[in-house]
Structure 1
Amino acid sequence: MAQVVHLAESASESAVQALPQNVEAEAALLGALMIDNRLIEDVQLKLRPQHFFEPLHARIYEAILRLTDKNMVANPVTLKPLFDSDEAMKQVGGPAYLAQLTGSGAAVIGARDFAVQIYDLALLRALVGVGRDLVEGALDTSEEVAPLAQIERAETELYKVAEEGGAEGKAKSFAEATREALEMAEKALNSGGHLSGFTTGLEALNSKIGGLHKSDLIIVAGRPGMGKSALGTNMAFAAAQRFLRDTADGIEASKAAGAPAALFSLEMSADQLATRILSEQSGITSEALRTGRISQQEFRELARAAAELENLPLYIDDTPGLTIAALRTRARRLKRQKNIGLIVVDYLQLLHGTGRGGGNENRVQEISEISRGLKTLAKELDVPVIGLSQLSRAVEQREDKRPQLSDLRESGSIEQDADIVLFIYREDYYLKAFEPDYPMPNETDKLAKYEEWNAKYSAAAGKAEVIVAKQRHGSTGIVRVRFDGRTTKFSDAADEGYMPELRG
């Protein structure tokens, strides 16, 4: 086999030597691939040109892949024209170097092992690079120091290295896919025939969508005041509470109908969300809790609710102004540390993308980046992600104020990326906004008008609709629920279910 010479040079030869590498293994692998092109099928899925330490070897490997991709034989003869003018090749004797690489046929036996070692050493070099950048950044105080931003950047880079070293992607056999489908069906059967994912806390909604499924992006949208934050919080709480209950009953965590949940609140603080949850569980209004207008009995109820929720696996991050990259970094950390199984983001339009610049066009692109980022996060961590979203004012201009998919604000990519889109509609909210003045005793015309309004409002009060406007895995429709505005709690309506599939 050819004598292999380091061609990569740097300011310090000792620095090059210090980096993890094995150019002899690279040369042996290239020789083996040129001797037997069939070996390429075994290594090309995981090993890429950038994993080679020696740049010349990376170019040779890339050329081999190009030729075989065209169904051509890759050997020293077919590769020679591609390297006639390569300066680095000339330094090691010209294209004859390709023939020298094939000098040892024994390398064919250990080709797969060489590929594994080259890949592992590339990961170690990437890790060295992250560490070096981290040290240099921490030592450079010439500009404004932002330690937390540096830590987040380092975590992101480390996660990229970890992802690179994870299990390689592969096609699943039909048997594997069938087994997963049967496990999902078994879970739905054991839960009573309607819940194959994590619970939403609403039986009627569970029946309609089958619960919250791993890797799905669920968009919950509504106009301000409809209760989208309340519904997102309710779902996160219900999943965390069900997980606590199921595991306490001896059910395996992997088979629980709930999961530890993370709630990223860009609008409300953690204590405000905690107050909401305590209000829901104790039955005391949030306003009474904030102002302290509660009795001793109500305080005891509050203390009881707080004690029951002490071990709830629900984690709240209320950091304002997060970018989608920072949110993904924090979500990965919570997945690693707390093994979260559900993520709620409140709300999507308050996140920032990674780009710069203003204008409506850039904002549309930014929202597209954010929605894609949330969908990628759902698949990457294999958890359902619930993204709350504002709706455009177009809703207010229509006589029928039920939302439509076209009302999703600022980007059609939200609809495209989402697996499920849920809209919240409360007729009593709009009726309340148009409440007529209470008439004087002699104003009979106004009295009739007021009584007509009051009858409509009384019939609609406390009722809400969760509109399933898109469902990738099932039909659309309307789920009727109840909403307690005092405690911001959604619950099942005793005499309501869901309406048939939406038309149009």
Structure 2
Amino acid sequence: MTQTALLPADKLRTAASADEPVQFRQVPHNIEAEQALLGAILVNNEALDRVSGFLEPIHFYDPLHAQIYEIAAKLIQSGKQATPVTLKTFFENAEPIDAHLTVPQYLGRLAASATTIINAHDYGRTVYDLAVRRQLIVIGEDLVNTAFDSPIDQSPETQIQETETRLYDLAEHGKYGQGFMAFGSALTHAIDMANSAYQREGHLSGLATGLTDLDSKMGGLQPSDLVILAGRPSMGKTALATNIAYNIAKAYRHEPQEDGTNKVLDGAIVGFFSLEMSAEQLATRILSEQSEIPSEKIRRGMISEPEFRKLVEVSQEMSRIPLYIDQTGGITIAQLAARARKLKRQRGLGLLIVDYLQLLSGSSRRGSDNRV
């Protein structure tokens, strides 16, 4: 396993001394972009439609601008007009911006300085991107401060996982989203899916589990599906999940693309979180099923020489299958998500199996408060 290189202690920069001038940097923001966007909205309320899908009041750097945007959005969404006149009543008792400028007067200036709504979306993206950068700074500061404080109840590994989760959440919320999709584009995706199903053995649009009756009912496992295997104790839930994982990983085939990525032709790379059984037990179970040798005989070593040779042959074939097992017990949801994202980055990931959900715990320090 590759270890992250640590800096020597003398390379770490300590706090500035009393004689050293403190460097001050302003957080990223653009007041002019905020003013231009608000002015465009006050002049033509249709400008809100260009940014309301991703921009929220919290993204504004100036608190007054955030308040103006929030009130204007509520008025417009309720079917009313948002103009300096209609917003004036909400700010009549507001503290003046300076000795010569009240908030109602400022609203008039914002509208007067607006020229067009054509650039409203660009202004909104600028405001949004800067808000994301400010949030990155907050995450970085929290990371540094926690590392310096060295809290007893938060190990470095936990801090890394929590920071990774925050960065991932920020990345997900940092996407603008595609909004409406043209019906023609949706049809193209539908035809591509049908073509993939036609070319695949079994004619399935999703991942084939290898269980014919199940595949015929479900059409395979589809992307973003959450499938729960429920049943009473000792009814074979783990055995079924193991079979599905092995069958999908065994069927994995890909085709290298010009951009360096791999196009998946069949099957998938599988991640298996085994929170109850060890990886060795899970592998023994799969090996027993594929070699048709009872697992009791394998565990006790009560096998003949031909059976042992068969075990070796089957294990060599199985070792090339992209099935990855994590046997960590008592794992939290945040840890599971972080490890799944790491596997996705390093190897790829098409199917994730958790055995079983009740053994997951939340990230709360109060222990089982957030058990699944």
Could you say which structure has the larger radius of gyration?
1
Identify the residue that residue 74 of structure 1 maps to in structure 2. 82
> Aligned pair in 2 of structure 1 residues 115, 357: CA closer, same or farther (>3 Å)?
closer
Q: Distance in 1 between matches of 2:231 and 2:204?
A: 25
Shift in Å, 1:31: 1.3
TM-score, scaled relative to structure 2: 0.84
Look up the SS of the partner of 2:273 in the other structure. Answer: strand
1:21 pairs with 2:37: no
Q: Distance in 1 between matches of 2:318 and 2:362?
A: 35
Give the 5 Å matches for 1:465-484.
none
The residue type paired with residue 52 of structure 2 is Q
Residues 155-193 of structure 1: CA deviation (Å, up to 9, x unaligned) = 110001110222415233333333333333333333355
Identify the residue that residue 136 of structure 1 maps to in structure 2. 145
Shift in Å, 1:274: 1.6
Q: CA RMSD in A?
A: 2.7
Q: Distance in 2 between matches of 1:294 and 1:193?
A: 37
TM-score, scaled relative to structure 1: 0.63
Question: Alignment partner for residue 265 of structure 2, among 256, 261, 265?
Answer: 256
Q: Distance in 2 between matches of 1:284 and 1:233?
A: 17
Q: 2:162 touches 2:334 (CA, 8 Å); kept in 1?
A: no
Gaps of 5+ in 1: 1-12, 371-504
Q: Distance in 2 between matches of 1:294 and 1:139?
A: 57
Identify the residue that residue 33 of structure 1 maps to in structure 2. 41
Q: Distance in 2 between matches of 1:212 and 1:34?
A: 49
Look up the SS of the partner of 1:179 in the other structure. Answer: helix
1:330 pairs with 2:339: yes
Identify the residue that residue 211 of structure 1 maps to in structure 2. 220
The residue type paired with residue 298 of structure 1 is E
Q: Distance in 1 between matches of 2:72 and 2:97?
A: 15
1:184 pairs with 2:184: no
Of all paired residues, the percent bearing the same amino acid is 47
* Off by >6 Å, runs of 4+ in structure 1: 355-358
The residue type paired with residue 58 of structure 1 is A
Q: Distance in 1 between matches of 2:135 and 2:96?
A: 24
Q: Distance in 1 between matches of 2:304 and 2:317?
A: 20
Look up the SS of the partner of 1:263 in the other structure. Answer: strand
Look up the SS of the partner of 1:315 in the other structure. Answer: strand
Look up the SS of the partner of 1:262 in the other structure. Answer: strand
> Aligned pair in 2 of structure 1 residues 192, 94: CA closer, same or farther (>3 Å)?
closer
1:51 pairs with 2:56: no
Identify the residue that residue 175 of structure 1 maps to in structure 2. 184
Residues 44-102 of structure 1: CA deviation (Å, up to 9, x unaligned) = 11111111111111111111101111222211111111112223646753321111222
Shift in Å, 1:294: 2.7
Shift in Å, 1:233: 0.8
Q: 1:56 touches 1:88 (CA, 8 Å); kept in 2?
A: no
Q: 2:36 touches 2:114 (CA, 8 Å); kept in 1?
A: no
Residues 434-464 of structure 1: CA deviation (Å, up to 9, x unaligned) = xxxxxxxxxxxxxxxxxxxxxxxxxxxxxxx
* Aligned residue pairs, count: 346
Give the 5 Å matches for 1:88-487.
89=97, 92-106=101-115, 108-192=117-201, 194-244=203-253, 254=263, 256-353=265-362, 370=372
Q: Distance in 1 between matches of 2:103 and 2:48?
A: 24
Look up the SS of the partner of 2:79 in the other structure. Answer: coil
Residues 243-279 of structure 1: CA deviation (Å, up to 9, x unaligned) = 14x659xxx9655331111111111111211222222
Q: 1:83 touches 1:89 (CA, 8 Å); kept in 2?
A: no
The residue type paired with residue 70 of structure 2 is E
Shift in Å, 1:239: 0.6
Q: 2:96 touches 2:102 (CA, 8 Å); kept in 1?
A: no
Q: 2:245 touches 2:270 (CA, 8 Å); kept in 1?
A: yes
Identify the residue that residue 62 of structure 1 maps to in structure 2. 70
Q: Distance in 1 between matches of 2:140 and 2:96?
A: 30
Shift in Å, 1:43: 1.1
Q: Distance in 2 between matches of 1:167 and 1:105?
A: 25
Gaps of 5+ in 2: 1-21
Q: Distance in 1 between matches of 2:148 and 2:364?
A: 27
The residue type paired with residue 171 of structure 2 is A
Look up the SS of the partner of 1:82 in the other structure. Answer: coil
> Aligned pair in 2 of structure 1 residues 193, 265: CA closer, same or farther (>3 Å)?
closer
Instruction: Write 1 or 2 for the structure with the bigger share of strand.
Output: 1
Q: 1:194 touches 1:206 (CA, 8 Å); kept in 2?
A: no
Q: Distance in 1 between matches of 2:352 and 2:212?
A: 20
> Aligned pair in 2 of structure 1 residues 357, 21: CA closer, same or farther (>3 Å)?
closer
Shift in Å, 1:280: 2.1
Q: 1:263 touches 1:345 (CA, 8 Å); kept in 2?
A: yes
> Aligned pair in 2 of structure 1 residues 225, 247: CA closer, same or farther (>3 Å)?
farther
